Amino acid sequence: MKLKNDILILLFFSIFLVVLGVFSLRVGTVNIDFSDILKLLKGNSVDSPSFSYIIEARLNRTLMAVLGGSALAVSGLILQVFFRNPLAGPGVLGISSGVTLGVALVVLGGFTLSTFLADVSLIIFGLFGALLILFILMIVSKYIIHSVTLLIVGLMLSYFTSALVNALYHWSDLEQTRQFIVWGLGSFSAVKTEVIKFMIPFFILVYISLIFLIKPLNALVLGEHYAKSMGINVKHTKAIIIIITSVLTSVVTVYCGPIAFIGIAVPQISRQFINKSNKLTQSFQLKIPITLLLGAIFALLSDIILRGGGNTLPLNTVTSLIGAPIIIWTIIKMNRAVSH
């Protein structure tokens, strides 16, 4: 019965995501009929050639929202286990800030590998920034007793990287500054078709690799000593977690900007859809797919709200308006649990 309920939950969110994706193709400054969308998706022509271009742009934006949202959400889930803190996430721990610093070095500082490898430079520098912050957090965490203190350290690292980024503004011209500021607002609309074609199989392979992390994550929730007693190579598992979260966060942030709250809020939502027995065992066999689906839904819904309002607000404004109340509710719930 419990397994049946779990399958129904996954099926419901999967269908909801598909419906939301189709609806996403319709919403924008120009509304398109569902009949024209279905024709184009089937490869048929429509009366207006401009519709083909609009839907291609919206399809890329929809796919990027799905990929980016799911990537940030599952990264947040894994990091919360890694640091044993339900408030951990790519943004809160300063990992996204590390990627931002890497992007700033390329865009504002001009540290590109070559003009032909501009995109590769962004990914490499962004990944380096994310790894640097993660390694610092790992070292600091060994000397910290309270997990909340680690969040404060992550916040300080964010301020430090922001200071370095502000210093880079002095070496950049007006166009570079404008480009970086627009990127920092966050958007799923700036990704090209060629990038999407690369990212879909790449992200799918990364998500499939998460299957091998289910058992180690289930064990790590109960502590490193328990994980070692279960035969888990903790050091190896931590290295994999660092690589996966850094790569996912870096790729999404490089192309979409630093998107707030998805990585920290979505795992909190996903926990509410797991039955009590799974809460006790912390089954990531269910947590990972639910988090992936909810991350995609959260990001896509935020983007649809943004487009429905005429693209007048930054994406981070919408995600913050939805995510911030969830985090406040999580903190209150944590305090109640401690007081009892």
The full set of domain ranges for the chain reads 2-339
> Confidence band (pLDDT; 50, 70, 90) for 280?
very low
CATH superfamily of 2-339: ABC transporter involved in vitamin B12 uptake, BtuC (1.10.3470.10)
User: Which distant-in-sequence residues (6+ apart) come within 8 Å of 199 by Cβ?
Assistant: 64, 67, 191, 251, 255
The confidence score (pLDDT) of residue 147 equals 62
Q: Which residue has the higher pLDDT, 247 or 44?
A: 247
Angstrom CA distances, 224 to 74, 152, 165, stand at 21, 23, 37
And the tokens for 16?
């909801």
Residue 144: band (very low, low, confident or very high) from pLDDT cuts 50, 70, 90: confident
Write out pLDDT tens, residues 51-102: 666 667 788 899 999 999 999 999 999 988 888 888 888 887 888 899 999 9
Confidence of residue 221 (pLDDT cuts 50, 70, 90): confident
> What is the model's pLDDT at position 64?
94
Rounded distance, CA 101 to CA 107, Å? Answer: 10
Q: Over pLDDT 90: what percentage of the chain?
A: 22
Q: DSSP class of residue 311? A: S
pTM of the model: 0.87
Q: What is the model's pLDDT at position 43? A: 59
Please write the tens of the pLDDT for every residue from 106-126.
888 777 655 555 667 888 888
Q: How far apart are CA 135 and CA 74, in angstroms?
A: 19
> Measured in Å, how far apart are the chain's first and last C-alpha atoms?
32
